[in-house]
């Protein structure tokens, strides 16, 4: 490695990464190779992170980190790292979930959310194609990629994400987006089970709550991938390609300290 790269065990204890492990001398060097990396941004659309007072399924912790997403992903683009926007995208009318004809009718997440999420009739059309709720809120650029067949929590189901990653020669995936404790966690499991190396910048992703987010990051750090700070990850990537890290990110642990948090507005 080119920097003193570290990760967080149990999303709590900072651990400087060794170069390798027994039998795999360059394990973490390969894990942090930007040449074989892609960013998977999950579900940063209006239904979750829009500015309206009422959304189909609001995730305030992800909304306030929109500037962090934009800055982190812009720096990754500078290095040639592909950005893949993955969206929960359902057919209008709800046949994929709300009104499907299967034995269990609704997806599990939807049934469970009625137990603890505030009643909201807008949730019926969450992620329906043809609605404004699928507008991406984060910045997009020419050359970005899109996955728009995600119907459940994981970015891999039922999509061609794995096919795209193989064609991009990607071995390492950096997960951003929301919810840390649902779609990010599920995607992390599926990525790891397919032998993609997983990285999660904990200061970029946003979850249902601080507690739920912490629990998800604990699981990821123990079983699935590296939980890191975005500026430290960028510092390693920039060093790998021989480019100076932007000065405002030098010595910073939390990218939100540079970008600021998006403040709530009403429309």
Q: Render pLDDT for 140-188 as a digit per residue (tens, 0 to 9).
A: 999 999 999 999 999 999 999 999 999 999 999 999 999 999 999 999 9
Q: Is position 232 within any domain?
A: yes
Residue 118 has what pLDDT?
Answer: 87
Q: Is position 88 within any domain?
A: yes
Q: Is position 215 within any domain?
A: yes
Q: Is position 78 within any domain?
A: yes
Q: Is position 64 within any domain?
A: yes
| Alpha-carbon gap, residue 227 to 7, rounded angstroms | 5
Q: Is position 52 within any domain?
A: yes
Kind of pairing, strands 37-42 and 172-177? parallel
Q: For residue range 18-59, list pLDDT tens digits in order.
A: 988 999 999 999 999 999 999 999 999 999 999 999 999 999
Is pLDDT of 265 > 60?
Answer: no
**How many domains are there within the chain?**
1
Q: Is position 4 within any domain?
A: no
Question: How is residue 184 annotated by DSSP?
Answer: I
- Between vectors from CA 133 to CA 129 and to CA 139, what angle results, nearest 5°? 110
- The residue among 228, 146, 155 whose CA lies nearest residue 194 is 155
Q: Is position 17 within any domain?
A: no
* Domain CATH number, residue 76: 3.40.50.850
* Domain assignment of residue 48, given as a range: 30-259
SS3 category, 83: strand
Is pLDDT of 104 > 50?
Answer: yes
Is pLDDT of 266 > 60?
Answer: no
């Amino acid at each position: 490695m080119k920097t003193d790269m570290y990760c967080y065990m149990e999303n709590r204890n900072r651990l400087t990464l060794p170069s390798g492990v027994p039998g795999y001398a360059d394990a973490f060097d390969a894990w942090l190779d930007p040449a074989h990396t892609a960013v998977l941004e999950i579900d940063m659309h209006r239904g979750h992170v829009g500015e309206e007072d009422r959304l189909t399924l609001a995730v305030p912790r992800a909304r306030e980190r929109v500037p962090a997403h934009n800055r982190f992903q812009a720096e990754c683009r500078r290095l040639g790292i592909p950005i893949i926007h993955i969206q929960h995208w359902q057919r209008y009318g709800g046949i994929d979930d709300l009104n499907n004809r299967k034995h269990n009718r609704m997806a599990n997440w939807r049934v469970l959310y009625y137990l603890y999420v505030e009643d909201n009739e807008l949730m019926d059309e969450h992620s329906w194609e043809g609605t404004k709720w699928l507008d991406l809120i984060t910045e997009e650029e020419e050359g970005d990629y899109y996955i728009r067949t995600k119907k459940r929590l994981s970015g891999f189901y039922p999509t061609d994400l794995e096919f795209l990653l193989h064609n991009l020669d990607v071995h390492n995936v950096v997960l951003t987006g929301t919810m840390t404790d649902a779609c990010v966690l599920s995607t992390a499991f599926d990525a790891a089970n397919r032998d993609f190396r997983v990285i999660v910048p904990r200061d970029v992703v946003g979850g249902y709550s601080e507690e739920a987010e912490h629990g998800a990051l604990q699981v990821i750090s123990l079983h699935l991938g590296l939980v890191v700070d975005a500026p430290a990850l960028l510092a390693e990537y920039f060093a790998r390609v021989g480019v100076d890290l932007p000065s405002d990110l030098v010595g910073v642990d939390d990218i939100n300290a540079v970008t600021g948090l998006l403040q709530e507005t009403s429309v």
